[in-house]
Amino acid sequence: MAPPTPRRIRIGIDTGGTFTDVVAFDEDSGELVTTKTPSTPGNPADGFMAGIDKVLGLMGLPAGHGDAISAVSHGTTVATNQLLEGKVDRLGFVTTAGYEAMLEIARQSVPDGYGNSYFWVKPERIVPRHLVKGVGGRLDFTGAEVRPFDEDAARTVARWFKAQGINTLGVCFLHAYANPEHEERMRAVLAEEHPDAVVSLSSEVLREYREYERAMTTLVDAAVKPRLSAYVNNIKARLSEFAGERPAGSGGVPFYVMKSNGGVLSADEVVHQPITTVLSGPAAGALGAALIARVAGFDKVLTSDGGGTSTDVSVVIDGDPTLTTEGSVGAFPSKIPMIDVVTVGAGGGSIAWLSPEGTLKVGPQSAGADPGPLCYGKGGTEVTITDAHVFLGRIPPHLLGGEIPLDVQAARDGIEQLASKLGLSPEACATGILEISAWNQANALRQVTVKRGLDVRDFALTTFGGSGSLLLCRLVDVLGLPTVLVPPNPGNVSAFGLLTVDVKNDYVQTHVSLADALDPSTVGGVLDTLTEQATEALTKEGFPAEQHSFVRTADLRYFGQAFEVRVAVPDGPVDQAALDEVARRFHAEHTALYGYDFAGDPAQQVEWVNLRVSGIGPIQRPEIRRHPLGDGTAPAEKGRRQVCFEAADGYVDTPVLWRADLAPGTVVTGPAIIEEFGSTVPLHPGFTARVDEFLNIVVTRTAEESI
């Protein structure tokens, strides 16, 4: 009798500040299983492995069946949290002699506009001035050598850093984007003189001009490389141990890490490109929500991922989240392709506090997972958003379907003490905390829409994450949104997103030229070189040539502008017709972004700046299944409890429904509470929820009360 065919299970794991979310996908049967485990901030790998063990058990695979894992994709906050918390170890910077003050000069832009410039002080440099060293040698913007590389000076610098015990270094020489030779020679010298040094080269991290941004991106890459590499390698080793014996020739468990650009990369490669993971978790959530919303029939979508520490928002048009290369993490600009995400400190653990003037504030400080909110009973001492929800009855007195009981009395005591300081009733204090949080989230959503020339009222909102759906009714009213979509298992959408994304590598080369002087063969040659690099990476990742696909883009601007607009380059050979089409697309995109263009004006020349190629290797996606609609009848209530939606109205007797009992076509009219394993939807009076054929909850204002 032939042995049974082993199962092939692909797992997505998103590690958040409070919980680790897990989704497992059986590639043969199509079965999808979700779960959560508490995060372990002291060693995130512990929560990671606990999540794998738990989800395999739910799929009927007890301990010892790790060999069924076909691949693991991971969204990590290791690099993000290190930068947000400013935990950058001693770091050295090697640059071209004469440019040692590059980080001090930086840029003249002031956050929030020049009206606040009087109060603004430049943030601390990522590398203090005394740890910056210059090395002689000079290239021009074409990559031609103006002065030879000073190897003696390079050796002196390498020995100095070794003597100082500086083991992490970033190297950024002038115009290295055009020619990496001097940087590569510096690395060779460091390998000889300071072999223990971890080194990042700008020509490998970002082959793009603008010296300050390239230097900062390289230094951020170097800063996170030791910690991220140790974390990823630790998980790789533990995965291999967990998987046990695998079929001959299969190697270890394929392990991918989510990148900020909306793709994944093998763990073997990501340790060489750690900067690409700085928005790993939020990117996965945006992509998962984008796919769910597109299948449900929504082509213009805002995503709102509410976690324990923060809420991440993004905009999705025609299924694709908006990308940017002008992002930053904390105080550190990182000029890499990343999904355009705005983060606000409005998660479940965000702390409510009194300003020196005695006004109520919420966030961005967070109680995190440990000690967490008061209601966690783990030693927390400050009121949080979660405590307000518990006090008002909007979430149950437990988390994860009863796995984690909550201390309702502790939340009540904290709210009452804070209310007494404000001279408010406890109900007014708690609803005030949630009102501030709702407006914080609304302002973040305006940043990705109104500030980019988009009308927020044209978009449906997709809410997910453990706390993402708790304030959706207020967001509808504050922003004038037409619809809110809550996916099934909203607390696990980011982990689900990890199973929907392809392997993706981005390559860029600066090539500054006026359009009139551009040679099509030169452009084609640069794009071919970038495509070859992408091809090599995809082949190394194990994708056969017939599965490779490539996206070519170019950054253009009008001559004299400071920043560029990215547009697609047509497939096929690059000839004059292709260049003209790129220019036409640039004019159209410029109009869409800024409301005007200079097409047809000979006095305004178009300038090409950067050429880009993304190499994509496809991964099998889970199918979002359609379910037959029922008659719309609401199921029996799970129970009832007192819930406060408006402080002036007090508590009202409210039905509690279990989401798994809501068949497609079910219609629920507020007030109601819809609970599930990892999330809760408080449906306020005046709102209606409908379950669609993909099991999404679609929330709208009740017709007669629409505003």
Q: For 132-154, how does the pLDDT look when each residue is reduced to its tens digit (9 = 90+)?
A: 999 999 999 889 999 999 999 99
Please, which residues have CB within 8 angstroms of residue 581's CB and are 6 or more apart in sequence?
A: 570
Is the Cβ–Cβ distance between 304 and 468 less than 8 Å?
A: yes
DSSP class of residue 671?
S
- What is the reported pLDDT for 121? 61
Could you tell me the pTM of the whole model? 0.79
Predicted pLDDT at 450: 85
For 319-346, write each residue's pLDDT tens digit. Answer: 778 877 777 776 777 787 788 888 787 7
Count Cα neighbours of 247 within 13 Å in the Cβ-side half-sphere.
Answer: 8
pLDDT at 46 over 90: no
Identify the weakest region by mean pLDDT among 116-125, 493-502, 624-633. 116-125
Give yes or no for residue 112 having a pLDDT over 70: no
Specify the higher pLDDT residue, 237 or 515: 515
Give the residue, 562 or 591, on which the prediction is more confident: 591
* Residue 595 DSSP label: S
- pLDDT on residue 70: 84
Burial class, 412, CB count within 10 angstroms (exposed 0-12 / middle 13-18 / buried 19+): middle
- Cα distance between the two ends of the chain: 68
Tell me the percentage of the chain whose pLDDT exceeds 90: 46
What's the pLDDT score for residue 259? Answer: 86
Q: Is pLDDT of 550 > 90?
A: yes
Each residue of 437-460: pLDDT tens digit?
Answer: 999 999 989 988 887 778 999 999
pLDDT tens track for 458-515: 999 999 988 889 999 999 999 999 999 999 988 889 889 888 888 888 898 999 999 9
Mean pLDDT of 586-592: 91
Q: Which residues pair with 507 in a beta bridge?
A: 613
State CA 505 to chain mean position distance: 16
Classify 30 as helix, strand or coil. coil
**120/82: higher pLDDT:** 82
| pLDDT over 70 percentage in the chain | 92
Burial class of 605 by CB neighbour count within 10 A (0 to 12, 13 to 18, 19+): middle
The confidence score (pLDDT) of residue 611 equals 95
Strand (E) or helix (H) holding 265: strand 264-266
Sorted by sequence, the CB contacts under 8 Å of residue 74 that are 6+ apart come out as 12, 13, 14, 15, 48, 235, 255, 256, 257, 258, 280, 498
Q: Above 70 in pLDDT, residue 612?
A: yes
Has residue 114 got a pLDDT over 80? no
pLDDT recorded at residue 62? 67
Residue 115 has pLDDT above 60, yes or no: no
* 270: exposed, middle or buried (Cβ count in 10 Å: 0-12, 13-18, 19+): buried
Sheet with 168-172, strands from edge to edge, namely 132-135, 92-96, 168-172, 198-201
* 687 or 40: which leads in pLDDT: 687
Interval 603-630 mean pLDDT: 89
366-375, 403-412, 523-532: lowest mean pLDDT where?
Answer: 366-375
Question: Looking at residue 120, what is its pLDDT?
Answer: 57
Residue 377 to residue 360: CA distance in whole angstroms: 24
State the Cα–Cα distance between residues 70 and 94, nearest whole angstrom.
42
